[in-house]
Structure 1
Amino acid sequence: MMGSLALWAYLLASRLADPLAPILLRRRLARGKELRARLPERLGHAAIARPGGRLVWLHGASVGEGLSMLPLIAAMRRADPAVAVLVTTGTVTSARQMAKALPEGALHQFAPVDAAGAVRRFLDHWRPDLAIWVESEFWPRLMIETGRRDIPMMLVNARVSARSAARWERIGGMARRLVGLFERIVTQDAPTRARLIAMGADPARVREGGNLKMLADPPGADADTLAALRAALAGRPVWLAASTHAPEEEAVLVAHRAMAPRIPGLVTILAPRHPERGDELRGWLAAEGVQAASRSAGEMPAPEINVYLADTLGEMGLWLRLAPVAFVGGSLADMGGHNPFEPAALDVAILHGPHVANFAPAYGALTAAGGARVVADAGTLAAEASRLLTDPDARAAQTAAARAVLSQARPDADALAAEALALIGRAA
């Protein structure tokens, strides 16, 4: 009863929210969270015409979800080249990334805010033949309105943490109504399958299918820039702290200082999860007396540089090709951890902290097989990074184990595409 009441209250609020939505968006614009020219999309006013024929709409939260869609989009286009694809996400960064990454036949728009008028305008214009949600980006008004129009709905790459499941449990009726809208659910792992069934999903409609992020191509790197950075480093030992959050940078610096006397010429590449923190981190490094250079400032890692601040967007492929060892952030700080598949694909030895709920099955399998190592603090980070940097055989064994684990768990994008297209009578 409480869950049904919660859904009723939410839908009422979303109906009353239309006059407030422009105010909210202007505030987000002032904080750099929206693009002025594309604000109408957030209110359901499409910027481009709907393509003719069948249209599959995929929706995800941000960059990670958007990039994970790419193998599925490619598989759907192989199965049915006539099908058009619409991708919606909700962040500025994802919009920019999708503009570069989407193939021919696929379009990007910002998702509408979850207000009744915006959602209805969006659906009136695009009239999708199939709606695919990615991971766990649930917007009740958008989902309910899609279901009311008899648009088949599918949830792929689904992930529900224990914490999220506990929150949904408090409003069980709402959860049952929303998960019941999906005709098919494909989860990243067995625990998510169990949690979704407990939330009210029909077990016959839910299967485990692996993590689509395993299928993404490793991030690329400009060959000339990579060569210039390698020349500047001149063979110095390098390790990477990738996608870090505060206060992980402090642990990385402590680890660097512990390692440097034992590994002459050591360079730490520090790549914060949010590059806009670059100014903050430059000031902090200067206050700590660290000889640092910044990628966003166009600086190179000269011989006197100890820490290279990789504070740009979309260049992780450079850093992973320069460093044979990487600490993957968001895992000492309790942020749920970040993607281990990119370093594994490029034979980079992985270190991570204990907080990896976002990729728990992957990290669990990697760690159990010796394909990744858990560190608890700056001291163990320094010890493990030093060991891997100075022992090529240990490093090779770890990266080989990681590749083996991931090759066994790769999902089948073509089978998933066929399953999706079958919902609109277009099975490959």
Structure 2
Amino acid sequence: MNRTLLNAALSVYDLGWKAALPLLRFNHRLKDGWEQRTLSGGLPAPAHLWIQAASGGEAYLAWAVLKELVPLPNETLRVLVTTNTRQGHEILTNAAREIHSTRKGIAVQPWYFPFDSPGLMRRTVRHVRPSAALILETEIWPGFLSACRESGVHVLLANGRMTSKSLGGYLAWPGLFRALGPERIMAVSETDARRFGTLFGRERVWVMPNIKFDRMAGAGPLARKDNPLREIIPDRTNFVVFGSVRKQEKIEVAKIAAALMRYKTGTVIGLFPRHMHHMPLWEKAMNEVGVTWTLRSALKGAASPGTVVLWDTFGELVPAYGLAKTAFVGGSLARLGGQNFLEPLTCGVTPVIGPHWKNFAWVGREIVESGLALEAEDAEHALNLLIEVLEKTPPRSEVASRAKAYIRDRQGGAKATAKQVADFLNKV
């Protein structure tokens, strides 16, 4: 793409941002950090490295990378870490606090990612003067990339993921993105690498371990005596968790719950909706299949045998996995991409999932082939698999040990990313 056409495209993009900013002022999600997003409250301090982590998930990845960064030989390594969301900012603030208390030679500054107006980004990059920038997952912002290119900043995209839908959108103007693309791209799978290669050229792309495996290094089952739900779920109860279930699969899930209750009388099911505001829909679904249910908030003691507990309190899914004999993990019977089935595994529980888990394809098909997770073809198959595990539940310690070994064999993404960052910084 020639420079004249690139400049024209960026000028139009800049005008779009200028027109949008007055309207964005009324978006309640963007009120947090508005002065940093618009630079109206000043600019971040100069830094050697700029890390962009879009939201909470990417912020945790940034935290893992920060732990692996190597300080500079003769001065403090200054790192600017930015995010687009309040949750991301809170996580990065906690990460900065931990790094400052445990590591020497690294200074971390959390900040909201400025709006991607080329004018704003040019001003920010020129002031911060980073030698290198690290983008986590799929953050392809033309204003940011253009400003980095103009200032000679080496850009690395790591833990890269790209859906076919996203690729189709970027290919609407491939010349623009190829001209501004990162210098190096580290994708989490061969499929993602092929998609990035189609957009940016395969010579820039290679495959890395997913940093999410690094984040799970310390995960493991919680002893029953330390589990906050131990009084609600008595020992030896046939307790089954339906985790992060979605409204699009409520009919199938309700039928599984009813059939499981008939087959295994006395079972207690803990049903955790992915979205709490859909609780009335789950109450209606339980009534329609004729099962006894109660709200978690209404429990005063142990859950009665033969009851579905509709979990209407936050933060208790992982402790519930720690007491379960098996679990169905939702978002996988409907075409929704699946939810996190590694959580029950690290708690020592064999999870059953539906056929639709593309959001977690990075975990690897080997997780199913090894029998660590059980993949159901449909709702009836999921029911049969849950019954099988209930009738012959493997020891929690054995499942947790195998899960830990699986995760350990796939760690190293944060260290690999930090090494590439060091290579970029050493170029200067």
Q: Same fold (TM over 0.5)?
A: yes
Larger CA Rg, structure 1 vs 2 = 2
Go from structure 1 to structure 2 and tell me whether the alpha carbon gap of 1:172 and 1:210 turns closer, same or farther (over 3 Å shift).
same
CA distance in 2, matches of 1:401, 1:70: 26
8 Å CA contact retained: 1:363, 1:372 = no
**Residue pairs, 1:341-420, within 5 angstroms:** 341-393=342-394, 402-420=403-421
The residue number in structure 1 matching 2:105 is none
CA distance in 2, matches of 1:125, 1:220: 44
Go from structure 1 to structure 2 and tell me whether the alpha carbon gap of 1:183 and 1:141 turns closer, same or farther (over 3 Å shift).
same
| Aligned AA (1:90) | N
Counterpart of 1:240 in 2: which secondary structure? Answer: strand
CA distance in 1, matches of 2:38, 2:252: 43
8 Å CA contact retained: 1:278, 1:311 = yes
Alpha-carbon RMSD across the aligned residues, in angstroms, is: 3.7
Match of 1:74 among 64, 67, 74: 67
Are 1:13 and 2:7 an aligned pair?
no
Go from structure 1 to structure 2 and tell me whether the alpha carbon gap of 1:320 and 1:285 turns closer, same or farther (over 3 Å shift).
same
CA distance in 2, matches of 1:370, 1:46: 54
Counterpart of 1:230 in 2: which secondary structure? Answer: coil
* Deviation (angstroms), 1:226: 5.8
The residue number in structure 2 matching 1:61 is 54
| Aligned AA (1:131) | A
| Aligned AA (1:329) | G
Go from structure 1 to structure 2 and tell me whether the alpha carbon gap of 1:307 and 1:111 turns closer, same or farther (over 3 Å shift).
farther
CA distance in 1, matches of 2:297, 2:79: 34
8 Å CA contact retained: 1:294, 1:311 = yes
Counterpart of 1:410 in 2: which secondary structure? Answer: coil
CA distance in 2, matches of 1:220, 1:45: 45
The residue number in structure 2 matching 1:194 is 194
> What are the Cα deviations for residues 391-413 of structure 1, in whole angstroms up to 9, with x where unaligned?
12498876665444433322343
- Structure 1 stretch 273-282 or stretch 167-176: which is displaced more? 273-282
Are 1:337 and 2:330 an aligned pair?
no
CA distance in 2, matches of 1:127, 1:301: 59
Counterpart of 2:146 in 1: which secondary structure? Answer: helix
CA distance in 2, matches of 1:310, 1:79: 49
The residue number in structure 1 matching 2:35 is 40
* Deviation (angstroms), 1:327: 2.6
- Structure 1 stretch 291-300 or stretch 137-146: which is displaced more? 291-300
- Structure 1 stretch 303-312 or stretch 164-173: which is displaced more? 303-312
> What are the Cα deviations for residues 106-125 of structure 1, in whole angstroms up to 9, with x where unaligned?
34333223233443454355
Percent identity (aligned): 25
Go from structure 1 to structure 2 and tell me whether the alpha carbon gap of 1:340 and 1:228 turns closer, same or farther (over 3 Å shift).
closer
8 Å CA contact retained: 2:333, 2:379 = no
Counterpart of 1:207 in 2: which secondary structure? Answer: strand
> What are the Cα deviations for residues 183-212 of structure 1, in whole angstroms up to 9, with x where unaligned?
222111122222222223352x32211111
8 Å CA contact retained: 2:53, 2:83 = yes
> What are the Cα deviations for residues 57-111 of structure 1, in whole angstroms up to 9, with x where unaligned?
2223322222223221111167889323333222344334444455334343332
Relative to the length of structure 2, the TM-score reads 0.82
Are 1:88 and 2:85 an aligned pair?
no
Match of 1:131 among 122, 133, 138: 133
Go from structure 1 to structure 2 and tell me whether the alpha carbon gap of 1:78 and 1:393 turns closer, same or farther (over 3 Å shift).
farther
Go from structure 1 to structure 2 and tell me whether the alpha carbon gap of 1:357 and 1:25 turns closer, same or farther (over 3 Å shift).
farther
Counterpart of 2:242 in 1: which secondary structure? Answer: strand
CA distance in 2, matches of 1:394, 1:58: 42
Are 1:23 and 2:15 an aligned pair?
no
| Aligned AA (1:59) | Q
The residue number in structure 1 matching 2:209 is 210
| Aligned AA (1:188) | V
CA distance in 1, matches of 2:63, 2:420: 16
| Aligned AA (1:262) | Y
Relative to the length of structure 1, the TM-score reads 0.82
8 Å CA contact retained: 1:157, 1:186 = yes
**Residue pairs, 1:198-277, within 5 angstroms:** 198-203=198-203, 205-217=204-216, 227-235=227-235, 236-277=237-278
8 Å CA contact retained: 1:44, 1:119 = no
CA distance in 1, matches of 2:99, 2:143: 30
| Aligned AA (1:16) | G
8 Å CA contact retained: 1:351, 1:372 = yes
Go from structure 1 to structure 2 and tell me whether the alpha carbon gap of 1:349 and 1:278 turns closer, same or farther (over 3 Å shift).
same
Match of 2:166 among 151, 164, 167: 164
> What are the Cα deviations for residues 156-187 of structure 1, in whole angstroms up to 9, with x where unaligned?
111123343344334322332243xx222211
8 Å CA contact retained: 1:294, 1:300 = no
| Aligned AA (1:138) | I
| Aligned AA (1:420) | V
The residue number in structure 2 matching 1:108 is 110
CA distance in 2, matches of 1:321, 1:22: 48
8 Å CA contact retained: 1:241, 1:327 = yes
- Structure 1 stretch 170-179 or stretch 128-137: which is displaced more? 170-179
The residue number in structure 1 matching 2:184 is 184
CA distance in 1, matches of 2:277, 2:43: 31
Say how many residue pairs are matched: 416
Counterpart of 1:355 in 2: which secondary structure? Answer: coil
> What are the Cα deviations for residues 353-405 of structure 1, in whole angstroms up to 9, with x where unaligned?
22222232424121222222212332122111121122124988766654444
Go from structure 1 to structure 2 and tell me whether the alpha carbon gap of 1:70 and 1:225 turns closer, same or farther (over 3 Å shift).
farther
Counterpart of 2:387 in 1: which secondary structure? Answer: helix
CA distance in 1, matches of 2:249, 2:291: 16
Counterpart of 1:192 in 2: which secondary structure? Answer: helix
Counterpart of 1:154 in 2: which secondary structure? Answer: strand
